[in-house]
Structure formats: structure tokens, C-alpha cells
């Protein structure tokens, strides 16, 4: 009787899990017209709704602006201590800003803080002009970087997201550029700020991402609101070793935007888990070599990746090792001789098995020497 009750309970649980997944994938998870949930380490899409529909995204545009800013820092082109002077053009921006005056100076650190926390349009343009000489030149770089990332739905017309004809992206592309930005972990020093100040305390700024106060594990990332775009967000959060990116574009209100982001992230954390792959313990350390100067070739295989597991379908990780029984000389260091293939659900990842050393073909003298030694041993 107990076993029957347990079986019935398990069936109910599995049925409920299936319902959760189906209802999520039919588009009812969020109210926004477009959205995506991505696992950050793998780029795997866990949920999508009109993911490639081209839409304006308001100040979420600044994700790409900030990506180029942090890449400029990495390359040495920009330092956080650099002094940035606001131009007439930068100071003329409307919408959310920090009221820069033409000729006013701030450190790059403060300009980034203003861009991230207060979503300041004027600060974003000042950063762009400092890096590229003009906003137009910077926007060209934005589009070039978008193409490199495979953001095929995106055309940028400005660096701050103010409404402009033809300035379009998609929920999928926003997730892609968000994933690229959060690889620069310094960004979290800014996206985690709730309240701060500029100009020596004269200007107070409050983060536009209200999830910082309400969502467990939230790490960022960027909100945006305009008449054309509606209320948009790219929200990042991390729990139990898994990092998620939830994108909602075109929500009717700010409240719905944050509810959609929370629903996306909740769905991800409830239904998926991350597992780190590693080199199989039964991978041979070497293979015999026929006709070589050495009898064995040492092998290496670097496995450094993650896989997303679906909790509801009880995904498991299986792997296969593909290797020949023997190698033929010559063998070159770094030569691929086999592979380790991991399979999880419908996903497959393959990693090369390489030779660790050069093994030339055996010389005639070595062959005759080995034959002579074998005859002596008889």
C-alpha cells in the first residue's frame, strides 16, 4: 500500500513538472510580447517568446555601450581614472540623465556609474565620444561588435537607446550581448549599487533595477523605458553555481517588466541545474605506437565546460571515448587522435584527445637494434 501511494505521489509530481514546462513554453510565462531566458555559461536558451522579433529596447542598448567600454578598459584604451569632458552633444541628451553641462568633467568611473545606475544618456554619450572620438564612430563599433557576436536582428543608431527610427534589436540578441558583458565581472561592481552619489555628494543616483531589492541572487543588469520600446529589462541572477539572463522587451508597465524578469529567472532556477564536465577518469594515459622511436604516445584531453540539466526530465550526462587501438608513427605533438563526446538530452559536446609529444618514425638502425636485442633474449 505504501509503495502504491509513493508511486501515485511521484506520478503527480512528474505530471506537475511537465505542466510547468509546457505552460512556460506556450508563451504564458511572461506578459511582455518578447522574451528570452539564457543560461550564461553555455548560452543555452531555456525559454523563448518571439525571441527574434525586431523591437526597440530603450536603455537596454547601453549593455552594448558598456561592453565596448569594458573592452576598452581591458585593452588599455580607457582607464577608470581618465577624466572625461562632456561635449555640447553629450550634454544635449534628453530622457534619463545626470544633467551634464558642456565642458563639465568627471572620471570614467563616475561616468560608468551614472550610465549603469541612473541609466544616464548624457554619460553614455560622453563615454562613447571619449573612446571613439564621436558618437557616430562609436555606434559603428557597436554594430561591428554586434555582427561579431552573431546579433543578426540588431541595428544600433545611437549608444543610449533613445527612440530613433531603425534602432532595433531582439530579445535573443539582448541576451547575447548581456552574456558578453557579464564576462567582465567588474560590471557587477556597478550593477549591484542601489544608492550612490556623484559630484562629491551633490547628485544622488538610485538604481533603476528594482529587482536589486526584491530578488534573491540578482546581479544586474539593465533596464530601459521609452514610448516606442515600452518597459524593457535584461536581468541577471546567480544561484547554486548557475547564472541566468532573463530578457523581457515591450512590457506595458515597469511593474510588469520586473514581474516578467522574476518569472523568467524563477522558471530557470526551478527547472534547470548546471553540471561541470570534467575529463573522464577512464581516459587512457597513452596509446601504443607502431613503427615509432617510442613505443607509447602520451595523451591529453582538456574538458572545461558546463552542461545544463533539465530537472523535470531527469537529464543525465553520458560520454563516449573514441580512440584507435594503436597509432602509426610519425605522431606529432598536438595531433588529434580521438575524442570524448558528452551527451545530455539533445545536446552534444565533443572534446579532442591529443598527443602530448612528437614521436618520429623509427630509423633503420633502431629497427635493427631492436631485432638484434630480441634475438639475444631468445
Q: Which residues are catalytic?
A: 59, 62, 119
Sequence-distant (6+) residues with CB within 8 A of 29 are 23, 35, 47, 49, 263, 264, 267
Of 249, 244, 254, 255, residue with least CA distance to 220: 244
Of 10, 54, 242, residue with least CA distance to 152: 54
C-alpha cell at 193: 549599487
Q: Got the DSSP string for 166-227?
A: T-BB-HHHHHHHHHHHHTSTTHHHHHT--EEEEGGGTEEEE-S-GGGGT-TTEEEEEEEEET
Sequence-distant (6+) residues with CB within 8 A of 130 are 78, 82, 84, 85, 108
Amino acid at each position: 500500500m505504501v509503495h502504491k501511494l509513493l508511486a501515485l505521489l511521484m506520478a503527480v509530481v512528474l505530471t506537475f513538472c511537465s505542466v510547468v514546462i509546457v505552460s512556460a513554453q506556450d508563451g504564458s510565462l511572461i506578459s511582455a510580447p518578447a522574451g528570452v531566458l539564457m543560461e550564461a555559461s553555455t548560452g543555452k536558451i531555456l525559454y523563448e517568446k518571439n525571441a527574434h522579433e525586431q523591437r526597440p529596447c530603450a536603455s537596454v542598448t547601453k549593455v552594448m555601450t558598456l561592453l565596448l567600454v569594458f573592452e576598452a578598459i581591458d585593452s588599455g584604451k580607457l582607464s577608470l581614472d581618465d577624466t572625461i569632458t562632456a561635449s555640447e552633444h553629450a550634454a544635449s541628451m534628453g530622457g534619463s540623465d545626470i544633467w551634464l553641462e558642456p565642458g563639465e568633467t568627471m572620471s570614467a568611473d563616475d561616468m560608468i556609474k551614472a550610465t549603469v545606475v541612473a541609466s544616464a544618456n548624457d554619460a553614455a554619450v560622453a563615454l562613447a565620444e571619449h573612446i571613439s572620438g564621436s558618437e557616430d564612430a562609436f555606434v559603428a563599433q557597436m554594430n561591428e561588435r554586434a555582427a561579431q557576436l552573431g546579433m543578426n536582428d540588431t541595428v544600433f543608431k545611437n549608444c543610449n537607446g533613445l527612440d530613433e527610427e531603425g534602432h532595433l534589436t531582439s530579445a535573443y540578441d539582448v541576451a547575447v550581448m548581456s552574456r558578453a558583458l557579464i564576462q567582465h565581472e567588474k560590471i557587477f561592481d556597478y550593477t549591484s549599487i542601489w544608492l550612490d552619489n556623484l559630484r562629491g555628494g551633490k547628485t544622488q543616483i538610485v538604481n533603476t533595477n528594482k529587482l536589486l531589492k526584491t530578488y534573491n541572487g540578482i546581479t544586474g543588469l539593465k533596464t530601459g523605458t521609452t514610448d516606442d520600446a515600452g518597459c524593457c529589462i535584461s536581468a541577471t541572477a546567480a544561484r547554486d553555481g548557475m547564472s541566468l539572463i532573463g530578457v523581457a522587451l515591450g512590457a506595458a508597465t515597469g511593474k510588469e517588466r520586473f514581474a516578467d524578469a522574476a518569472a523568467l529567472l524563477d522558471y530557470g532556477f526551478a527547472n534547470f541545474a548546471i553540471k561541470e564536465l570534467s575529463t573522464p577518469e577512464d581516459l587512457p594515459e597513452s596509446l601504443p605506437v607502431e613503427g615509432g622511436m617510442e613505443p607509447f604516445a602520451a595523451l591529453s584531453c582538456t574538458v572545461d565546460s558546463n552542461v545544463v540539466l533539465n530537472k523535470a526530465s531527469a537529464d543525465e550526462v553520458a560520454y563516449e571515448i573514441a580512440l584507435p587501438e594503436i597509432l602509426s608513427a610519425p605522431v606529432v605533438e598536438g595531433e588529434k587522435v580521438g575524442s570524448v563526446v558528452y551527451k545530455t538530452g539533445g545536446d552534444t559536446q565533443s572534446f579532442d584527445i591529443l598527443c602530448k609529444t612528437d614521436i618520429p618514425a623509427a630509423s633503420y638502425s633502431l629497427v635493427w637494434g631492436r631485432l638484434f636485442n630480441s634475438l639475444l633474449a631468445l
